[in-house]
Amino acid sequence: MRGRPSARTIGWIAALLVAAGAFTFGAVDEGPPKTNADRVRALAEDFACPVCAGQSVAESDVPVAREIRRQMAVWVDEGRSDAYIRDQLVAAYDVDIDYNPSGSGVTSLVWILPVLAAGGIAAVVVMMLRSGRSEQAQPAAGSQRRWRNAAVWTVAIVVVAGGAGLLVARSSGSRSAGGSVSGEIRVTSRELIFEAQQRLGTGDMDGAIAAYDEALELQPSSAEALTYRGWLTSRQGDLDTAAEYLDDAIAVDPAYPDARLFRAIVALEQGDGSAAAQELAAFDSLDPPPYAEELLAQSQVRERVAAARDADALAAVDALAALDERPAFSETDMDVPEALAAAEALAGRGDLLEAVQLLDWVLESRPGDPDVLAGRGWLLVRSGDPELLALGVEYLDAVLAADPSNPAGLVYRAFARWQQADIAGARADLEAFDRLDHRPPDLDRLVEDQGLRAAVSS
Amino acid sequence: MSNVVLGSAAVAAGLGAALLGVVVTGLGVSGRLRFWLRHARGLTFAMAAAAVLAVIVMERALITRDFTVKFVADNGSSTTPPVFNVATLWSALEGSILLWALVLCGYAVAVAVKFGRRRPTSMRIASIGDDQSATGGDDSAAHTASGGQSAATADDDRSATASRDQFALAADDPMLGWAMLVMFAVSAFFFALMVGSADPFISVEVPPGYDGPGPNPLLQNHILMAFHPPILYLGYVGFTVPFAFAVAALATGRLGEGWLAATRRWTVAAWGFLTFGIVLGAWWSYETLGWGGYWAWDPVENASLLPWLTGTAYLHSVMVQERRGMLRVWNLSLVIATFSLTILGTFLTRSGVLASVHAFTESGIGPAILGFFAVIVAVSLALIAWRGDRLRGPGRIAAPVSREGAFLANNALFAAFAFVVLLGTVFPLLVEAFDGRTISVGNPYFDRMTRPIGFALLFLMAVAPMLPWGAESRRPPTELLSRRLLVPMWTAAAALVVAVAAGARGWAPLLAFGLGGFAGAAALRQIFLAVRRHRWRGLVGRTNGGMIVHLGVVLVAVAFAASQSYVRQAEFDLESGQQAEFAGHEIVYVGSAVTAHENRTERVAFVRVDDAKTYGPAIATYPFASQTIGIPSVRSTLRDDVALSVLQFPDDDAADRVILRVTVQPLVVWLWLGGIVMALGTALSLLPSRAGRRQPAATGAPA
Amino acid sequence: MSEPDRRERGAGMSRGSRRRAVWIALPVATAVALLVLVLATRDSAFERKASSPILGALAPPVAGATITGEPFDLDDWRGRWVIVNFFQSTCVPCIVEHPELVAFDERHNAAGDARIVSVVFDDTVENVREFFAVHGGDWPVLATGAREAAVAYGVTGVPESYLVAPSGVVVWKQLGGVTADGIDDVIAQLTADP
């Protein structure tokens, strides 16, 4: 040994340091968290497809495996732990769906025996190496002593290896809530969305966007994250990108009211009234929570959509030629709802006559169309003129004679009778309307907004 | 003559020849009629001719679609493509037994020809390893003299080759007689299966115009299916040869190193075939199953891995016996275990006792194979117990940190590995027998239990080739190791730095990369030194070829760790023209088209990956099998694979939508390249090394 | 016997060796014998079928919206026999089974003692609507929440039916198609001998 370390020693130390450094960095730094899809795949590999021969849920393409994969995805999106998912599957399909044998009971042997065997094999190897050296040194120990030694060693190995095996079984034979085969759950997409909402609450828009982006990284199909990411984008002025996010959100979950509402607002801002109206109608057909209604009222979407629709409808009517030169309704590209909206708009700006004429023109092509008749009646009912009111009731009677459960006819006639002070008649119509299976939400709103229900029940 | 009659006759003739062989060799080895042993060779020819005829008849029946043969009626079809028509032979039970018998007869002929050509003169059987201290001393002296540069490569080959050259058996040698007896007995068993419950030539009446269903669609959509089973069988069946000689050694009591040397190349060749067969099987399932997996710890996959593990252990421990004369029982046990495990694997695959994708449908041959397995194990154990007095080898291990010490550790690890795999595979059956519950043991268990063993093996692979054979009173060769392992250590460090820089995270894959670099550099160092010394001859021979195999193993290990740890998978619902970004790749769904083939219709989704080539994953419908299977398409690069598979075309009509599963896995190609390197290394190790050629046989004995 | 070469026979012949070899061989032989015994007594994996763990357990929730948009909750039917039927509109055995369900429904509809709820398995709502329009049947068909229900019941394929007793416990399971008489027999049996 020289005093100074040789070049090779330094080389070894340096190599070991570099290796240990790189290894430690790579082992400690966690890298990006596993996405939900990656977790689903890892989980799917650990469960047996219940009807396939020796294939995992990940491998198999039979419908059951597909459904279990999809359900796993739902659970993972919900932020469930591996242990929860395992318990659900075992409760439904029995333990043999779990490829990870339990670490308790008889099955724990599958974990313990290899460790015991490894202990035994190691002991034999050590014995062989020792005998190689000791045979010459001490030719023959007493046979009794040899037996005792062997027994002591055997017991020691069984105890140590058995204990180690038990530990392996305990740690590996279960899916604890924290540790997970599908990758440690450091953060779930749900938590990120929650964090984003909190940031939004404190006005930290960039922070919220970052959190939503992270959530989308984990779960690209999160309707909530897509919706709010899109909404925040639209608040920053990028309407087209916002519309893409919102369209994705609607594709994922068509029944998510927030996405519909934001999409309507974005469409309005893009100047696309009809798209906004469509989204609003979709929103209305859902069961929106109170905060969404509030937001709706606040942003006056309904009014703006109505205004846009009126503007569109009026533009459509204005585009038509004068009454006597007009082609038949059926030859134009206008449809009945558009015509009704246009008539409403005309009446709204005071051109009642023009509105009625428009509907008459429609009726020439579509004689007896209940919607048009009801609309025409409704125009007359709202004129305030008692004569026209009576005429309007006639139209509505005709509609209801043809179809006693026409919702528009019932509601409009209830209003007419109310104006005629026929409260009982109005109540009867309203009750008939309430009995309908399918009530258009706009009519419902009309009834509420105008206080009809309160008026007839008094 | 009809195929049924001709085939049945061939099988019967084969059985007859095998049984006659058993009788002749049995009487021959019993002593009085020893000269009868000379007829064994002729009988193997007869047996092989029968097997070849049976296979030809079956292939003729398959190709000409002779549906009067039940096997063809059940598995053949007029619409199966020609290549798979030939491969139909091994796509169902009876045909696979026929193939097994053919391969077995081939080996029997090869053994008879190779060993039986000597005239019955005096036996010249040299033994090595009975003068241990001399050999060891000589060897370590050589190391000191050469400064360890050659790393003992030439020495290893010399001693081994020498003993092989000297081990030539006469045709009437009882050792060969016993070995042939075993080969005949095993052949007789397989022919008997074909006469009994696995009869491939059953006559059947079919209505005119009948067409068969064809083989399972999964077995006829990839060309690898034409190669994987025969190569695997060459491996499985090849282990019959060392087994036969092991039994012969036990029976004759000539338990020295002679039989090892005689069968070493046979074992290496069988091992090489088995290795390549397993890799091809993994490749096939990766290419056809479409979920990005290639190894699923399925019972049948495990059944092929088990003999591989014991066989690999044997290839290493055999060198300890050659050098040190020890581990006799252990080596015999490994050979017997390897052969028994191939039979047990056949039982697991063919009896339907374990559920597996690869298992054939239930059949009646299970009990027969299980019985055969029991007989093999019982006879072998009885022989070992009987010969116990001669089995204690003379050698011992002088130093723990030595080549033989490393081989011992290697064997301990492989034994543990095999135990884990065997236990995990049969454990559900044991639990069920014990308390009636059904449980599953799969992926998570095997991954967790085998991973530490894999790491330890990689470490040993780096260190063991550097270690000298042990000598008396030699201290641990620290100086030697620190010199030889410095470059591998730096390679390991570099591998870790590169991996971390490339974004690899997590301790397990990083450990695999580091150890892979360590072991890979160690193997490369040995190859480099050997080539520098012996030019191209430095690539051949057992030791050098072995190092190339090591290199292949490192490639496989690193690729395995990377592809398992960093796999990304997602499902996309795309309309035609739509694109998706995933894991750094851009995937565009171009559209789909329907193509009609003779035996199936395919709806192909055209998918462009990274603006380059367009790939065509498809869904194929086989009307006859009323089965729909996905045909994945994989874009492979040396860096990563993008595997595409169609899960569904949700709208059958207008809107061209596809639900596409995209799996991105790094380094997958290196698995197959590693397999090819392993096969290549095996082939090179079978070539005679330079040292072996130069050394006259007579001086092969220790100097 | 042949005369084995001296050197080949090996050198170390100790008296204890044979005994030791026997001692090693015996446990190995026992282990292998046990393994063979276990393997020989196993049924084929194709025949083994685990019983469902949910038999005898409280019925997992079947809740969500039907194909007509009505809300549905199995718990609202507590006190009646309920057949929970998992099906797919394109599966042939489901089509074969359907008239039996219709017959069963007709038998019990008036009395209201037994009801059927169908649960869509891996199918689209449009397909299912059409299926019921063509094949008849007028009972709730769960569309949303169907996958949760299928995975909670451990459905392995279609059709598959579960009988929920009035107590809310799953008492019977049928893989494959049911018949009206078959269900009635089971109910009668369970009523007579609970």
Domains contained in chain A, CATH given = 10-97 (1.10.8.640), 105-135+146-172 (no CATH), 189-303 (1.25.40.10), 356-457 (1.25.40.10)
Chain B positions in Cβ-Cβ contact with residue C3 (cut-off 8 Å): none
Comparing A297 with C186, which gets the higher pLDDT?
Answer: C186
C54 contacts chain A (CB < 8 A): yes
Does residue C87 sit in the same domain as residue C125? Answer: yes
pLDDT category at A410 given cuts 50, 70, 90 is: confident
Cis peptide before C159 (omega within 30 of 0): yes
Claim to verify: residue C127 and residue C151 sit in the same structural domain:
yes
Helix, strand, coil percent content, chain B, rounded in steps of 5: 65, 10, 25
DSSP letter for B125, please. Answer: -
Judged by CB atoms closer than 8 Å, whether chains meet at C54 and A91 is answered as: yes
% residues pLDDT > 90 (chain A): 7
Task: Compute CA C36 distance to the chain's CA centroid, rounded to the nearest angstrom.
Answer: 30
The confidence score (pLDDT) of residue C47 equals: 57
| Span A305-326, average pLDDT | 74
CB contacts, 8 Å: C8 with chain B: 125, 127, 254-258
pLDDT at B186: 96
Query: Residue B510 in contact with residue A21, Cβ under 8 Å?
Result: no
Which of C53, C153, C156 is closest, CB to CB, to A51?
A: C156
Rounded-to-integer distance, Cα B52 and Cα B48, Å = 6
Is A67 close to C53, i.e. CB distance below 8 A? no
List chain C residues with CB under 8 Å of A93: 53, 154, 156
Q: Do A63 and C152 touch (CB under 8 A)?
A: no
Based on the domain organization, do C89 and C33 belong to the same domain? no
Percent of chain B with pLDDT over 70: 85
In 3D, which of C126, C2, C167, C143 has the Cα closest to residue C67? C143
Q: How far is B304 from chain C (nearest CA, A)?
A: 18
Q: How far apart are the first and last CA of chain C?
A: 76
Note the pLDDT of residue A456. Answer: 76
Residues C185 and C136 grouped into a single domain:
yes
**CB-based burial, B444-455: b 16+ in 10 Å, e otherwise:** bbbbbbbeebbb
pLDDT band of A269, cuts 50, 70, 90: confident
List the structure tokens of B694: 């130069």
> Any long-range contacts for C136-142 (C-beta under 8 Å, 24+ apart)?
C136/C98, C136/C99, C136/C102, C137/C98, C137/C101, C137/C102, C137/C105, C138/C105, C139/C105, C139/C115, C140/C66, C140/C70, C140/C72, C141/C66, C141/C67, C141/C117, C142/C62, C142/C63, C142/C64, C142/C65, C142/C66, C142/C72, C142/C117, C142/C118
Higher pLDDT, A343 or C19: A343
Radius of gyration of chain B (CA): 27
- Report CB contact under 8 Å: B388, C18: yes
β-pair partners for B671: none
CA distances for A124 relative to A119, B652, C27, angstroms: 9, 65, 16
Hey, is the C-beta of C95 within 8 angstroms of any chain A C-beta? no
Which of A38-42, A141-145, A282-286, B221-225 is predicted most confidently?
A38-42
Q: How many CB atoms lie within 10 A of CB B469?
A: 27
| C6 falls within a domain | no
pLDDT tens digits, one per residue of B100-151: 999 999 999 999 888 876 554 434 443 333 333 333 333 333 333 333 333 3
Angle at A29 between CA A24 and CA A32, to 5 degrees: 150
One domain, residues C86 and C20: no
Using the beta-carbon criterion (under 8 Å), do C54 and A89 form an inter-chain contact? no
Distance CA B236, CA B306 (A): 11
Instruction: Give the mean pLDDT of A32-37.
Output: 80
The pLDDT score that the predictor gives to residue C14 is 47
Is C109 found in the same domain as C23?
A: no
Distance of CA B479 to the CA centre of its chain: 38
Q: With pLDDT > 90 as the criterion, what percentage of chain B qualifies?
A: 42
Q: Where are the beta strands (DSSP E) in B486-600?
A: 568-575, 579-582, 585-596
DSSP state of C77: G
Looking at the domain assignment, is residue C2 inside a domain? no
- Using CB atoms, list chains with 3+ pairs below 8 Å to chain A: B, C
Q: How many CB pairs under 8 A join A and B?
A: 180
Residues of A in Cβ contact (< 8 Å) with C152: 88, 91-92
Scanning the structure block, which residue is given the tokens 């503007």?
Answer: A311
Torsion of CA B552, B554, B556, B560, to 10 degrees: 180
pLDDT of residue B164: 42
Q: Has residue A380 got a pLDDT over 50?
A: yes
Residue B517 CA from chain centroid, whole number = 25
pLDDT averaged over every residue in chain A: 82
Q: Does C137 touch chain A (CB under 8 A)?
A: no
Give me the pLDDT at residue A60, please: 84
Which residue segment(s) compose the domain that C143 sits in?
Answer: 63-192
Residue identified by tokens 């994708």 is B357
Contact between residue B415 and residue B469 where contact means Cβ atoms under 8 Å apart: no
Q: Which tokens hold the place of A222?
A: 């999160």
User: How many Å apart are CA B234 and CA A274, to the nearest integer?
Assistant: 72
Angle in degrees, 0-180, between the axes of helices B366-386 and B240-252, rounded to the nearest 10 = 40
Quick check: A63 contacting C, CB < 8 Å?
yes
Q: Which tokens hold the place of C115?
A: 């009801």
Name the neighbours of C, counting chains with at least 3 Cβ pairs within 8 A: A, B
Tell me the shortest Cα–Cα distance from B129 to chain C, in angstroms.
10
Q: Confirm if A36 and A185 have CB atoms less than 8 A apart.
A: no
Q: Degrees (nearest 5) of the Cα angle A122, A128, A131?
A: 135
Residue A220's pLDDT is what?
84
Q: What is the mean pLDDT of residues A110-127?
A: 88
Residues C20 and C74 in one domain: no
Q: How many CB pairs below 8 Å do chains B and C form together?
A: 126
Q: Which candidate, C152, C146, C173, places its Cα nearest to that of C89? A: C146
Per-residue model confidence as pLDDT tens digits over B398-437:
677 888 889 989 999 999 999 999 999 999 888 888 888 8
What pLDDT sits at residue B225?
83
* C31 and C102 together in one domain: no
Measured between CA atoms, the residue of chain C closest to residue B650 is: C124
Same domain, yes or no: C144 and C186: yes
Quick one: average pLDDT of A227-241? Answer: 88
State whether B258 and C32 contact (CB < 8 Å): no
Query: Both tokens of residue B334?
Result: 């490994």
d(CA A191, CA A213): 13
For the ranges A204-208, A446-450, B482-486, C99-103, the lowest mean pLDDT is seen at: A446-450
* Predicted pLDDT of residue B121: 40
* C44 and C71 inside one domain: no
Q: B191 and B11 in contact (C-beta within 8 Å)?
A: yes
Give me the residues of B, 418-447, that contact A with CB < 8 A: 419-420, 423-424, 427-428, 431, 434-435, 437-445
Alpha carbon distance B625, B613 (integer Å) = 32
pLDDT at B552 over 90: yes
**Amino acid at residue number B541:** G
pLDDT in tens, B665-680: 999 999 999 999 999 9
Question: Is there a contact between B663 and B567 (Cβ–Cβ < 8 Å)?
Answer: yes
CA distances from residue A44 to A218, A383, A421 in whole angstroms, order as listed: 17, 67, 69
**Residue C168 CB burial class (10 angstroms; 0-12, 13-18, ≥19):** middle
- Top residue of B445, B457, B587 to mutate, by most chain A CBs within 10 Å, is B445
Residue B275 is predicted with a pLDDT of 96
The Cα A107–Cα A128 span in angstroms is 33
Is C57 contained in some domain?
Answer: no
Nearest by Cα to B348 from B319, B332, B370: B370
Burial B504-537 (b: 16+ CB within 10 A, else e): bbbebbbbbbbbbbbbbbbbbbbbebbeebbeeb
Q: Can you tell me the distance from the alpha carbon of B452 to that of B164, in angstroms, rounded to the nearest whole number?
A: 37
Q: How crowded is residue B676: how many other Cβ atoms within 10 Å of its Cβ?
A: 14
Q: Are B90 and B227 in contact (CB under 8 A)?
A: no
Distance from first CA to last CA of chain B, Å, rounded? 64
Structural domain includes residue C53: no
B296 with A54: Cβ contact below 8 A: yes
Q: Is the pLDDT of residue A179 over 60?
A: no
Could you tell me what percent of chain A has a pLDDT over 70? Answer: 93
Report yes or no on C163 lying in a domain: yes
Q: DSSP letter at B581?
A: E
Residue B165 above 50 pLDDT? no
Tell which B residues from 225 to 284 touch C, by Cβ distance under 8 Å.
Answer: 252-258
- B88 contacts B58 by C-beta, under 8 angstroms: no
Rounded to an integer, the average pLDDT of B496-519 is 92
Q: Tell whether the model's pLDDT for residue B655 goes beyond 80.
A: no
DSSP codes joined into one string, A256-294 = -HHHHHHHHHHHHHTT-HHHHHHHHHHHHHS---HHHHH
Looking up residue C142, the CATH number of its domain turns out to be 3.40.30.10
- Pairing relation of β-strands C71-73 and C160-164? unpaired
Determine contact, residues B481/B467, Cβ cutoff 8 Å.
yes
Asked whether residue C179 falls in the same domain as residue C85, the answer is yes
Express each pLDDT in A53-104 by its tens digit: 778 898 888 888 888 998 999 998 888 888 889 989 998 988 888 898 888 8
Res A302: pLDDT: 80
Interface contact B31-C45, CB threshold 8 A: no
- pLDDT of C167 > 50? The answer is yes
Please indicate, yes or no, whether residues C108 and C26 belong to a single structural domain of this protein: no
Query: B7-34: b or e for each residue (b if 16 or more CB lie within 10 Å)?
Result: bbbbbbbbbbbbbbbbebbbbbbeeeeb
- Residue C24 belongs to some domain of the structure: yes
A391-397: which pairs have CB atoms within 8 A and are 24 or more residues apart?
A: A392/A416, A393/A417, A393/A420
| Closest CB from C51, C122, C152 relative to A92 | C152
The number of domains in chain C is 2
Q: Quote the ipTM score.
A: 0.85
B196 in C contact zone (CB under 8 Å): no
Closest CA to B414 of B492, B305, B496, B326: B305
CA distance C170 to B632: 41
Tokens coding A349: 């700006």
Please give the average per-residue pLDDT across C155-172, as a whole number: 89
Measured in whole angstroms, the distance separating CA A376 from the mean position of its chain's CA atoms is 43
Residue B203: beta bridge partners?
A: B69
Predicted pLDDT of residue B160: 42
Lowest model confidence (mean pLDDT) among A156-165, A172-181, A218-227: A172-181
Higher pLDDT pick, B40 / B184:
B184
Say what the pLDDT of residue B132 is.
34
Backbone angles phi, psi at B33, to 5 degrees: -105, 40
Q: Is B615 on the interface with C (CB under 8 A)?
A: no
